[in-house]
Amino acid sequence: EGGRTSSPVFVAVMLSLFVAISVSLNARARLGTAVVRGLSRNAGAVMVVGAADIVGEVDNWRPEGGHGTGNRFMPLDTVAMGPGPMLMAIAGLYPGLTAAELRAPQPLPFAPAGGWNYHRLLADGVPTGFVALPGNELVAEHPDTVAVVCDGTSLGVEFADGASHECLALIDRSDEAVANPGLLDPRQFYALSDAAGRVHIRWSDGVPEGWTVQGRLIFTQLPHVKKPGSGGGFAEMDDDFEF
């Protein structure tokens, strides 16, 4: 009457249930390890699932001395999701550029958004060379664009220091007005060639007789020029200070 003892049948049932649960948990842990290994090798992603005793197997795919081993992590930087730096073919110098020179270069393909391209530049590829510019969505929409190195005064551009500097006119040679001069927009600037083949970068109410549209100016890239005397030691007094 004082104390009750468990029946042998009840003890046997509980023991069998405990064994079944243990086997199930071990199987799930092994399955979780396989999932981790698979994700690591195929997708480069690591997702720890299951029991704590499988965590040590997550790093098996990493090479010795690599990122994430030995509690050491490489400095990493991800490219922004947008146009990457652009390597632009240079058509020539302006003034003095000819229509044939403007048409000659073969532009390099732009990198995909968030990535980059590899280029092997050959000596005879573009004799006039290339120039690297920051990525720009407007330029990326016009892959047949070339750069023309211009004297700023030849375009009517003024600089803060009162001097003339080189700038880059980016000309889209695939503009619709090239094939159909009637589509020329008088509010835009174009690369027009005269009867002698000389290029003029300008706006025009129409295409003069005997002239040809070679491309439309997307924009002119200017260098950073500081105004003389600006910046007296206090950033707030600098013309280039941004609030």
pLDDT band (50, 70, 90) for residue 33: very low
Average pLDDT, stretch 187-201? 98
3-state secondary structure of 17: helix
Residue 60 CB neighbour total at 10 angstroms: 11
Residues in a beta bridge with 229: none
Give dist(CA 233, CA 222) in Å, integer.
25
**pLDDT of 5:** 53
Position with higher pLDDT, 22 vs 145: 145
Going 154 to 160 to 161 to 162, the CA torsion angle's sign is: positive
**2-30 tens-digit pLDDT:** 445 556 655 555 666 555 555 444 544 44
Q: Residue 223 corresponds to which tokens in the numbers above?
A: 């260098």
Q: Is the pTM of this model over 0.85?
A: no
Q: What is the pLDDT, as a whole number, of residue 60?
A: 74
Please tell me the least confidently modeled range out of 115-124, 150-159, 219-228: 115-124
pLDDT given for residue 120 in this prediction: 84
133 bridge partner residues? 86
Rounded Cα distance, 207 and 194, in Å:
10
Contact 138, 117 (CB under 8 A): no
What pLDDT, in 10s, does the model give residues 91-111? Answer: 999 999 999 999 999 888 998
- Look at residue 227 in the predicted model and tell me its pLDDT: 87
* Adjacency order of strands within the sheet including 199-202: 130-133, 86-94, 145-151, 166-172, 212-221, 190-193, 199-202
Q: How many CB atoms lie within 10 A of CB 110?
A: 22
Across residues 57-85, what is the average pLDDT?
86
Higher pLDDT: 80 or 44? It is 80
Q: How far is CA 213 from CA 30, 194, 198, 203, in A?
A: 70, 9, 12, 11
Q: What integer is the mean pLDDT of 98-126?
A: 87
Confidence of residue 59 (pLDDT cuts 50, 70, 90): low
**Band (131; pLDDT cuts 50, 70, 90):** very high
Q: What stretch of H or E contains 35?
A: helix 8-43
State residue 29's pLDDT score: 41
Say what the pLDDT of residue 32 is: 41
Contact status, residue 193 vs residue 185, Cβ threshold 8 Å: no
Taking the C-alpha atoms of residue 232 and residue 44, their distance in angstroms, rounded to an integer, is 52
Cross-strand partners of 215: 191
The secondary structure of residue 74, as a DSSP letter, is -
Q: Which of 164, 165, 155, 133 is nearest to 146 (CA)?
A: 133
pLDDT at 84: 87
